[in-house]
Amino acid sequence: MSNVITQEQIDEGVKQAKEQWTLMLNESGMSATNFIASNSEATNFLGEYEMFRASLVSHGWKVPVLVEGINVTLSDNKIRAIPDIESL
């Protein structure tokens, strides 16, 4: 069994994450900005995705951001997800 990852597997993971995000967002009935601001589950989801993305990008893989216009930053035990002012 090989432990090699492919771009196709990464793309499938991104697709699944986007579907999960869309489901969570639609169930909330809020805009993405309000959902992120008021729901720690949303912020944690984005933070976990960003950790996944940053790790893969650092190894040369192509991984898009999950939500356009939202900047996710990770620091010591803290996740921040804020709207990109230029995208508003």
Give the CB-side neighbour count of residue 43, counting CA atoms within 13 A: 16
Exposed, middle or buried by CB within 10 Å (0-12, 13-18, 19+), for 68?
Answer: exposed
pLDDT tens digit string along 46-62? 989 999 999 999 999 99
Interatomic CA distance for residues 14 and 66, integer angstroms: 8
pTM for the complete prediction? 0.81
Interatomic CA distance for residues 50 and 65, integer angstroms: 8
- The SS3 call for residue 65 is coil
Interatomic CA distance for residues 19 and 13, integer angstroms: 10
Q: What is the arithmetic mean of pLDDT over 61-69?
A: 92
Q: What pLDDT score does 88 carry?
A: 42
pLDDT classification of 1: cutoffs 50, 70, 90: low
